[in-house]
Amino acid sequence: MIRNATKEDIEAFAEDAYLYQCLSKSSFRGVVCEESGEILGIAALVNTGDQLSAISAMKEGMRTKPVSIMKTARKFAEILNRYGQGAYAQASSEEKNARNFLLRVGFNEAHGDVFVWGDEWRNMHR
């Protein structure tokens, strides 16, 4: 079973000072495994002027492959931008899985969110 992350879950997850600063100043959504308490994914929405971007982070050793999800989510976002909402029917199963995972974690594709996962996120903010 999964549940929504609480503020305490997010604080415990955000060991990185920059990540904590982003999460504490923004609205966030998260998904937590009820049995283990492990954070499965976090999405933080940060207002960057007129564009809403999604900053996300994942813990090491997850079952899903963050980079793969990031790439397919970006590809899916491009397809959506090009062909509109009907593009879901044209997407590959991998793209559909990435989209469904992201929606479960709380992203809103209508805002054209930018998806950044795992190591790439960490490298951007070193």
DSSP 18-87: HHHHHHHTSEEEEEEETTT--EEEEEEEEEETTEEEEEEE--TT-SS-HHHHHHHHHHHHHHHHHH-GGG
Ordered by start, the domain boundaries in the chain are 2-124
Nearest Cα to Cα of residue 63 among 34, 29, 39 = 39
The 10s digit of each residue's pLDDT in 46-105 is 433 322 233 343 333 333 344 444 455 556 556 555 555 555 666 677 666 666 655 555
Contact 23, 10 (CB under 8 A): yes
List, for residues 28-42, the tens digit of each pLDDT value. 556 666 667 666 555
